[in-house]
Every structure is written in C-alpha cells, then in structure tokens.
C-alpha cells in the first residue's frame, strides 16, 4: 500500500505486494553492486550517527541508505539520508506513543513472504540479509514500524476523508503537470530573512532585465510578438540568475526542473506554489525544508477527468504523505535531535 523502508528490499523486487509505509522511500533505486571496489567497508555495528529523543540511529542504517549511491557522492548525500532516517524515527516515536499495536503474526507473515520471494529469486534469505547489512531483528523492527504506519493511515483516512481530499485537489490526481525553473537559497548558507531578501532582489533583477530587453523592440511591434519576446527574455534572465545563485544541482540547467506532477515529485509547499502560477509568472519566496525558492512557471499541461474510485490508491498514498509531513512538522520542533560528526 505505502512504501517506506524498502529501498534495500527493492533490489530483488520484494517490495511489490508487501505492506510498507511512508512513500518517499519508494523513490530510491537499488543498492550498488557488492563488488564495487570503491565502496567503503560498513561502519562498526555500534557506531551512532544521531540520537532522536535519546533513541539512536546507527551509522549502519545510514550506510544502508547510501548503498544506492555512487560512493564518490556519499559525502554529499549523507545528510539527506540521515535526515530521512531522523524523520522516520520521529514518526515511529509518535505512533508508539499512540500505542498502535501490531500483531506479531502479521510481522511473521511478512518475513515469510520475503523469505519465499528471495527463494523464488534464487537467493538465500540469509545471503539477502547479509548483502543488505541487515539482521533478522532489524528486518522485523522495520516491518513492525511499516505495519504500524499502515494501520494508522488506514484508520485516519476513511473513504469520506479521502473523497474530500480528492474533490478539493483534483489536479493532484488527474495527470496535471507543470514545467518550471527555480532558484534555491539554502538556509544552511543564509538565514531565513537573508534568503527571502536575496530572492526578492533576484526576482526584481530578472523582471528588470526582461523589461530592458522589451524596451529595445522596434516601435509598433504587435502584442503577440512582444509577449513572445517577454517570455524569451524572462527565461534567459531567470536561467542566468539560477546558474549563478542557486544552491540546487539544477543550477547547471538554469534551474530547469522539467515536467512534474502536482503530487508525488516535489514537496508540497513547492508544488502548491508552482501550480498556482501562470506560464512565465514568478512566485514570491517559497519556504520548504530545503530553504527558500523563487519559482518561475514555464508551461502547464491540464489533466483529464478522473473518478475517485479509479485513483483511490493514489489518493490514499498522497494522504499518507501529507499526514507524515504534518506529524514531522509538529513533532520535530519539540524533539531533541543530536547529530554526531561523521567519521
């Protein structure tokens, strides 16, 4: 139903049909080959990467999350993997406080499924766990958390709740898409106020440069031609500003993010702001967990009419994502999180 910790199980296709939770994990590709000569050895079993309200996250868990990446990029992506694990643990702690029980029989059924799928794939279960640096205890713990999450989301997301979400946000589910550029100012490099002021200045700069280009057009240029030139000028000015100022890897493409749907690709504040824009309209600074963004819509594609019954599983998935985001936003600020220096 939902995807959660399955970025390592997915290596042999075991994720399909298994209960899991928290959709963001499903996007991770399978681990790198075990024979990669550049892969560092796993960390000591007791090494701690962070503690969340006194509960540790082991370096080995971070290592498992990094297996999907080129070892040369580990230093860059380690922070994202660790933040993801911190958020997962926060959700687990919240659900544990709610005392949502999981039947041990359900966990054992999932373990048996994984064992059977591993055998069907020609891999011994013990070898699968070894390759993924997992113990059976690790696996059962993750399965318990996944089943607990599923139970919670199903309990919260009644048909009435899901249908209301569908009715109010149809462009999340009808295939609508947006093409946009953006400039990111990471708040690790600047304060929130500095980031917002920087983006406000860049917004004006882009608009002024485009206006300057339009002023060079010959007198009598018709409106359609002027509008085409305005779009071209904005695109050039925004791309140049993104290449120079953005903190996002998309800066190499002038901040171009290509086409993306309303839900499932971008974090919600960003997607909501982008889809509210008309082509070649610039947003105000938009805050997300990554920092502050200036967004420029490039083009939009309208979706097609869909029925709730046909997209209910996707509505449920998006509902789960939003629920997870709300829990983290509310709980994280009241939690004690200590991150250890990477060794």
Model pLDDT for residues 206-221, shown as the tens digit of each residue: 999 999 999 998 888 8
For residue 297, is it within any domain? yes
**Amino acid 5: pLDDT:** 42
Mean pLDDT of the region 305-328: 93
**Amino acid 15: pLDDT:** 36
**Amino acid 289: pLDDT:** 84
* Three-class SS state of 282: strand
| Cα separation values, 179 from 91, 168, 281, Å | 32, 22, 12
Question: Which among 66-80, 133-147, 233-247 has the top mean pLDDT?
Answer: 233-247
Q: How far apart are CA 17 and CA 9, in angstroms?
A: 12
**Amino acid 237: pLDDT:** 96
139 and 262 share one domain: no
Position with higher pLDDT, 37 vs 177: 177
96 and 213 share one domain: no
Of 177, 160, 178, 179, whose CA–CA distance to 315 is shortest? 160
156 and 266 share one domain: no
150 and 202 share one domain: no
**Amino acid 69: pLDDT:** 81
Which CATH number do you get for residue 104? 1.10.4030
pLDDT band at 187 (very low <50, low <70, confident <90, very high): confident
Q: Is the pLDDT of residue 295 over 80?
A: yes
pLDDT band at 75 (very low <50, low <70, confident <90, very high): confident
Sorted by sequence, the CB contacts under 8 Å of residue 203 that are 6+ apart come out as 282, 284, 294
Q: Is the pLDDT of residue 245 over 70?
A: yes
For residue 180, is it within any domain? yes
**Amino acid 277: pLDDT:** 96
51 and 106 share one domain: yes
Q: Is the pLDDT of residue 29 over 90?
A: no
The angle subtended at Cα 315 by Cα 314 and Cα 318, nearest 5°, is: 85
Sorted by sequence, the CB contacts under 8 Å of residue 294 that are 6+ apart come out as 182, 183, 199, 202, 203, 282, 283, 285, 286
**Amino acid 239: pLDDT:** 97
Burial 84-118 (b: 16+ CB within 10 A, else e): bbbbbbbbbbbbeeeeeebeeeebeebeeebeebb
**Amino acid 17: pLDDT:** 36
Mean pLDDT of the region 166-172: 93
pLDDT band at 37 (very low <50, low <70, confident <90, very high): low
21 and 159 share one domain: yes
* Three-class SS state of 339: strand
Q: Is the pLDDT of residue 9 over 80?
A: no
Instruction: Please count the structural domains in the chain.
Output: 2
Q: Is the pLDDT of residue 319 over 60?
A: yes
154 and 13 share one domain: yes
pLDDT averaged over every residue in the chain: 86
For residue 312, is it within any domain? no
pTM of the model: 0.73
- The token pair at 238 is 């925004």
| DSSP letter assigned to residue 39 | P
Position with higher pLDDT, 257 vs 121: 257
290 and 332 share one domain: no
Q: How far apart are CA 179 and CA 221, in angstroms?
A: 28
Of 1, 87, 2, whose CA–CA distance to 325 is shortest? 87
137 and 231 share one domain: no
Asked whether the beta carbons of 325 and 268 are under 8 A apart, the reply is yes
* Predicted confidence (pLDDT) per residue in 121-167, tens digit: 888 999 888 888 888 998 999 899 999 999 999 999 999 999 999 99
Q: Is the dihedral of CA 78, 51, 89, 6 positive or negative?
A: positive
Burial 27-55 (b: 16+ CB within 10 A, else e): ebeebbeeeeeebeeebeeeeebbbbeee
Asked whether the beta carbons of 1 and 316 are under 8 A apart, the reply is yes
Q: What percent of the chain has pLDDT over 90?
A: 62
For residue 144, is it within any domain? yes
29 and 47 share one domain: yes
For residue 306, is it within any domain? no
For residue 310, is it within any domain? no
* Predicted confidence (pLDDT) per residue in 98-116, tens digit: 999 999 999 999 999 999 9
Name the phi and psi angles at 34, rounded to 5: -65, -20
Of 145, 135, 8, whose CA–CA distance to 81 is shortest? 8
**Amino acid 16: pLDDT:** 35
**Amino acid 79: pLDDT:** 86
Asked whether the beta carbons of 256 and 181 are under 8 A apart, the reply is yes
79 and 216 share one domain: no
Which CATH number do you get for residue 272? 3.10.50.40
39 and 112 share one domain: yes
For residue 108, is it within any domain? yes
| Cα separation values, 130 from 5, 20, 145, 201, 325, Å | 17, 21, 21, 53, 32
> Whole domain around residue 88: which residue ranges?
9-166+317-339
For residue 277, is it within any domain? yes
């Amino acid at each position: 139903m939902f995807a959660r910790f399955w970025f390592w199980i997915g290596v042999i296709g075991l994720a399909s049909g298994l209960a899991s939770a928290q959709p963001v994990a499903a996007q991770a590709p399978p681990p790198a080959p075990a024979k990669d000569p550049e892969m560092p050895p796993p960390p000591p079993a007791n090494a701690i990467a962070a503690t969340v309200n006194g509960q540790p996250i082991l370096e080995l868990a971070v290592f498992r999350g990094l297996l999907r990446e080129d070892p040369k990029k580990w230093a860059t992506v380690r922070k994202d993997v660790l933040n993801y694990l911190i958020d997962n643990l926060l959700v687990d702690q919240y659900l544990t406080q709610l005392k949502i029980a999981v039947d041990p029989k359900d966990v054992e059924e999932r373990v048996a499924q994984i064992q059977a799928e591993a055998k069907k794939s020609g891999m011994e279960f013990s070898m699968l766990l070894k390759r993924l640096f997992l113990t059976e205890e690790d696996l059962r713990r993750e399965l318990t958390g996944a089943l607990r999450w599923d139970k919670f989301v199903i309990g919260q997301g009644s048909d009435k709740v899901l249908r209301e979400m569908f009715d109010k946000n149809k462009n999340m589910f009808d295939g609508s898409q947006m093409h946009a550029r953006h400039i990111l100012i990471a708040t690790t490099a600047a304060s929130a106020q500095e980031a917002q002021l920087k983006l406000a200045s860049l917004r004006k700069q882009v608009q002024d440069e485009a206006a300057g280009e339009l002023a060079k057009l010959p007198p009598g240029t018709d409106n359609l031609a002027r509008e085409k030139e305005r779009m071209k000028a904005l695109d050039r000015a925004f791309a140049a500003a993104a290449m120079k100022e953005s903190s996002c890897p998309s800066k190499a493409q002038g901040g171009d993010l290509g086409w993306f749907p309303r839900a499932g690709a971008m974090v919600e504040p960003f997607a909501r702001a982008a889809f509210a824009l008309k082509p070649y309209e610039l947003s105000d600074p938009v805050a997300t967990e990554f920092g502050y963004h200036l967004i420029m819509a490039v083009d939009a594609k309208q979706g097609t009419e869909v029925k709730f019954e046909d997209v209910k599983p996707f509505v449920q998935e998006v509902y789960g994502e939003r629920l997870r985001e709300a829990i983290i936003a509310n709980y994280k600020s009241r939690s004690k999180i200590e991150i250890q220096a990477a060794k």
